[in-house]
């Protein structure tokens, strides 16, 4: 999570032109925080995309828009405060392992070949990450790659369980598509907050200056 908390007392010099207009001062703080975090969200997406092989569409879905806050909690009551804060959260379901990069990127389970002779299927989550082989566990076979409706997919076989094929009526193995690493796995890398937090604070000062000037100019036209 990337967050930004601002207290008006810390920015008295920048807010001095709006000191006689409390609502405008608060609005300037609010918009400056939001604009700073809007840009931070884009940077989070780009950083995760550089660390992983996930499509940006999946990453964007996991990164929230800025969550803005303007109240503080004391006991069970929310009380008004002049401070403004916001945060960008990263949360989402684990994407399928084959949405990263398959190793090898081809079918490894051939029809008519005994399962013990299938080559294991693995996936690589990022350029600096090792290939992860899906190992056999209790009641599940090692991972293997098959061709599905949406390209190549990584499956395991549920041992001892079958299903009836709708077209042929025959009993076939029950397969499970395998999940990979979540987007928040990459967002928790140590360098992510340390890279972006100073940029957010620097951008906030620039955005706040712009907001104050914009509001002064707008009031002057009335």
**Tokens of residue 167, six digits:** 């077209």
Could you report how far apart the first and last alpha carbons of the chain are, in Å? Answer: 41
Could you give the CA distance from residue 108 to residue 114 in angstroms, rounded to a whole number? 12
**Tokens of residue 11, six digits:** 């920015």
Q: How far is CA 126 from CA 1, 37, 101, 183, in A?
A: 21, 26, 8, 12
User: Per residue of the chain (222 residues), what is the pLDDT tens digit?
Assistant: 778 888 888 888 998 998 888 888 888 999 999 999 999 899 889 989 998 999 999 999 999 998 888 765 555 555 556 788 888 888 888 999 999 999 989 998 887 777 677 788 899 999 989 999 998 888 888 899 999 888 999 999 888 888 887 878 888 788 899 999 999 888 775 556 666 677 888 889 999 999 999 988 888 776
User: Are the C-beta atoms of 51 and 186 separated by less than 8 Å?
Assistant: yes
Whole-prediction pTM:
0.77
């Amino acid at each position: 999570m990337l967050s930004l908390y601002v207290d008006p007392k810390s920015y008295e010099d920048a807010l001095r032109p709006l000191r006689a207009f409390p609502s405008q001062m608060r609005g300037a703080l609010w918009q400056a925080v939001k604009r700073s975090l809007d840009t931070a969200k884009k940077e989070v997406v780009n950083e995760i995309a550089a660390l992983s092989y996930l499509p940006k569409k999946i990453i964007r879905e996991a990164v929230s828009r800025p969550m803005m806050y303007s109240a503080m909690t004391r006991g069970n009551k929310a009380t008004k405060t002049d401070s403004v804060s916001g945060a960008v959260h990263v949360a989402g379901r684990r994407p399928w392992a084959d949405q990263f990069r398959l190793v090898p990127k081809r079918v490894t389970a051939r029809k008519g070949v005994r399962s013990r002779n299938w080559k294991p299927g693995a996936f690589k989550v990022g350029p600096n990450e090792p290939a992860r082989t899906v190992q056999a566990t209790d009641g599940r076979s090692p991972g293997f790659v098959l061709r599905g409706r949406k390209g190549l997919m990584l499956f395991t076989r549920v041992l001892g369980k079958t299903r009836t094929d709708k077209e042929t009526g025959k009993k076939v193995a029950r397969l499970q598509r395998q999940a990979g690493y979540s987007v928040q796995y990459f967002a928790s890398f140590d360098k992510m907050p340390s890279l972006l937090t100073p940029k957010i604070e620097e951008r906030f000062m620039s955005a706040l200056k712009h907001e104050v000037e914009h509001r002064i100019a707008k009031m002057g036209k009335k």
